[in-house]
Structure 1
Amino acid sequence: MIIQSIALLDQLDKDINTFSMRIREWYSYHFPELVSIVPENHLYTKCAEYVKDRKSLSEESVEPLTEILGDSEKAQAIIDASKMSMGMDISPVDLINIQMFAGRVVALSNYRKQIAEYLHTKMNSVAPNLTTLIGDQVGARLISKAGSLTSLAKYPASTLQILGAEKALFRALKTRSNTPKYGLLYHSTYIGRAGLKNKGRISRYLANKCSIASRIDCFSETQTTIYGEKLRQQVEDRLKFYETGDIPMKNIDVMKQAMEEAMQQEQLSAEGSAKKKKKKKKAKKEEPMDED
């Protein structure tokens, strides 16, 4: 389900962008000033669906436009621009088609949000530590590229580091030039925050931590995000080390802390489940007494 969801998410992003650009071109014949006031695709589509004929706008339209945009100044700017617009008049049939198409695009955008929420919950249940470390979408893309979470867990960190950059790797091997430093991991926030000299180093370090997180998620019996939080903190500390030179904790010490916290969490959950079982037994014993 994760592989299909991330593929659908990527396809929806492309389709929504294409359709939004088509609405911009189509509606700009009638109201060209709207593009400069509302540059965002999703909000532009919502405005086009609401406005329809620009001549129908009045001061009463400020409140609905403010609800759509979340900005009263932009809403007033749209009203002012509609009065002095240089756009051509458009037939009612064309306006109906634009409105229907805009409605479909808005519905697709809302559906895309639902898919993103579904993917987030699915990743938290299947790979909680990997999700905590690098996010649900990057983690889902890694799983999709590997084929499954088990396959990803079996990959060494060096392979995980360049997942998604296979063409660049083979091109580099053919031409005997420098091999790529990162693939899908480039979309994580850590590499963007690292300096130019340290991008390759943090990519290698992040791949190592992702490999550990995927193995814990794949082979552990109990689900927990403790390891993912500790691994994420390790990456943050490594970024600080590259910037300031502050020496971070050793990996073995961090993993010991994580194991102790995970054991405590297991004990608490076991005690809680035992108490629930006792309550159920007491309730069952009391039922026949009440009947008598």
Structure 2
Amino acid sequence: MGSPTIKHDSQTTLSEGTSREASEEAPNGSSGHPSVRNVAKLWHSSRLRDTMAGIRKYQEDDSRRLVGMVEEDPEYKLVVQGNRLIVDIDNEVILLHKYLRDVYVKRFEELETLTTNPYTYARALKAIGNHEKITESLLDGILPPAVIMVMVTATLGPPLDPEALENAKEGADMLLSLEEARDEILGYVESRMGMIAPNLSALVGSATAAQMIGSAGGLTSLSRMPACNVQVLGANKVASNMGFSKATVQRHIGFVYHADPLKDMQGDLRTKGVRILAAKCSLASRVDVARTSEDGEMGRGLREQVEQKLEKLQEPAPNRGVKALPAPDEMPKKRRGGRRARKQKESLQMSEMRKAQNRVQFGVAEEEILDGDEMVGLGMAGSAGVESGKIRASAGDKRKVGMSKATVKRLRTMSGTSGGGSAHGLSTSLVFTPVQGIELQTPQAPDPSKRLKEINEGWFSSMARFKKEKDSTGKGSN
């Protein structure tokens, strides 16, 4: 794989000692901004220079393979160092972009809002410089035509002094050189992932595998991590650490979230896919450490399993079918109730005495009685209501007692009567009289008072007349 060439300026090819002396002796410019070499020092560092030299050395030999332990191989150490260097380059680019904006804001303030990419900002700054007017030919190939049309009509500020402009251009050259170095390092790391971690690269892609190994501190460290920690590698913790709102911050958005197998998934399904893929990444990293599948066959098998599970998650729910309505039931239903229900209702109903107690007669003082420690009003159940005879203490049962024919017949037999007009079966022989008290009498015997009344009306009545008796001849005599 061919490596991109890094274009060095006359001011960026200084040796380390010369750059250190220049950065120590360089004073602030006339505009009040420090020199760009005091802000960004990574480009002139020996670490970047040694890493780039090692990358070019190993890129010439593409047929080299790892032998023995992965952690002890010098090329593996170079790959891990390249991963860490990519992170440092990104931080350096942020510092340089901020420095360029602070310096060039007096000349063109709207450039910061029209170009948000740091590399595009640096290219536009070098093209515009101190030109009195922006033309389309200056920015052709750097910005889209719509943005160029806006810049042509924009108003420029006063030109920068030569020293400030020189610092801005030097910072822009340094930023673009860092971009080229980053691309070269990233391309080398991705190309070596197939040799260092073939199964992990086959599962999540070379770029994601390189990021995960660099963030974990090595392949061995990654293999020792549980799946719950693998899925949060590379997660952004700025909002939680700086006290910003967490309402819009998504959790567990790391390198695995942006892996190739999960790019087409949305919403909650992607979150479930992160958990599935993180578990397989743990297995693939352990296989790479053990060097049991150097051709990446195990990683391709794990990726097929992940894709099958993701397709299963995206399938719609199975159709349960249309359930038929039940047959209409238009038959009259049996009413609930009956004798048992009526008895229960009657046993719980309010008595006449309680109903009268709840009523109060208008214009009449209510009678009260002492019930324990409190006075209870009697309402219309007082002495006035009782004396009037309109209130009964017990309601009584107005229903007739039902008896079967066998019971009636048995009672008649016991009472000694067979006719229907005689005494009732429930009649008793005990009678209360005002003179003699309790008397025992036979129900079937005739009443003596009625017999005495008939005799008196026959012989001693005032309306009675003499009767004529018949003799033996059949003639009556007076």
Residues 65-84 of structure 1: pairs in structure 2 closer than 5 A: 65-69=139-143, 71-78=144-151, 80-81=152-153, 84=154
Whether the 8 Å contact between 1:31 and 1:54 is mirrored in structure 2 is: no
Equivalent residue number for residue 347 of structure 2: none
Residues in 1 aligned to 2:270 and 2:149: alpha-carbon distance in whole angstroms: 45
Kindly tell me: are residues 25 and 132 of structure 1, through their superposed partners in 2, closer, same or farther at Cα, counting changes over 3 Å? farther
Q: Are residues 1:208 and 2:288 paired?
A: no
Higher helix share: 1
Q: 1:50 aligns with which of 127, 132, 148?
A: 127
**Residues 158 and 23 of structure 1, relative CA distance in 2, 3 Å threshold:** closer
Q: 1:87 to 1:157 in 2, by over 3 A?
A: same
2:103 to 12, 20, 26: 26
Deviation at 1:67, TM superposition (A): 2.8
Amino acid at match of 1:238: K
Query: What is the RMSD of the two structures over their aligned residues, measured on CA atoms?
Result: 3.3
1:42 maps to amino acid: Y
Greater relative contact order (Cα < 8 A, sep 6+): 1
Q: Distance in 1 between matches of 2:118 and 2:232?
A: 33
Unaligned runs of 5+ in 1: 168-179, 248-292
Work out the CA distance in 1 between the residues paired with 2:173 and 2:208. 30
- Structure-2 change in CA distance of 1:222 and 1:190 (3 Å): closer
The 1:44–1:155 alpha-carbon spacing in structure 2 relative to 1, beyond 3 Å, is: closer
C-alpha separation in 2, matches of 1:50 and 1:158: 48
Shift of 1:146: 4.2
Q: 1:111: Cα distance to partner?
A: 1.1
Amino acid at match of 1:65: L
* Higher mean C-alpha deviation, range 99-108 or range 134-143: 134-143
Q: Distance in 2 between matches of 1:30 and 1:8?
A: 33
Q: Write the distance in 2 (CA, Å) between the matches of 1:188 and 1:204.
A: 12
Deviates more, 1:203-212 or 1:42-51: 203-212
Match status 1:237 vs 2:308: yes
Query: Does structure 1 residue 104 correspond to structure 2 residue 192?
Result: no
Match of 1:88 in 2: 158
Compute the TM-score of the two structures, normalised by the length of structure 2: 0.41
Which residue number corresponds to residue 38 of structure 1?
115
Measured at CA, do residues 234 and 87 of structure 1 come closer, stay the same or move farther in structure 2, by a change above 3 Å?
farther
Is contact 1:202–1:239 with CA below 8 Å preserved after alignment? yes
Change in Cα spacing, 1:145 to 1:105, as seen in structure 2 (3 Å) is closer
With over 3 angstroms needed to count, the CA separation of the structure-2 counterparts of 1:160 and 1:124, relative to structure 1, is same
One-letter code of the match for 1:202?
G
Quick one: distance in 1 between partners of 2:218 and 2:156? 55
Which deviations, in whole Å up to 9, do the C-alpha atoms of 1:144-179 show, x marking residues without a partner? Answer: 4544323433445455445568x9xxxxxxxxxxxx
- 1:159–1:110 Cα change, 3 Å: closer
The equivalent of 2:339 in structure 1 is none
> Which structure has the larger Rg?
2
Q: 1:139 aligns with which of 199, 209, 223?
A: 209
Question: Structure 2 CA distance, aligned partners of 1:193 and 1:68?
Answer: 31
Displaced runs of 4 or more, over 6 A: none
Amino acid of the structure 2 residue aligned with 1:99:
K
SS in structure 2 at match of 1:66: coil
Name the one with the larger strand percent: 2
* Contact 2:103–2:164 (CA under 8 A) maintained in structure 1: no
Q: Which sections of structure 2, spanning at least 5 residues, go unmatched?
A: 1-77, 238-250, 319-478
Partner of 1:289: none
Q: Secondary structure at the match of 2:140?
A: helix
Tell me the matched-pair count. 227
What TM-score do you get using the length of structure 1 for normalisation? Answer: 0.64
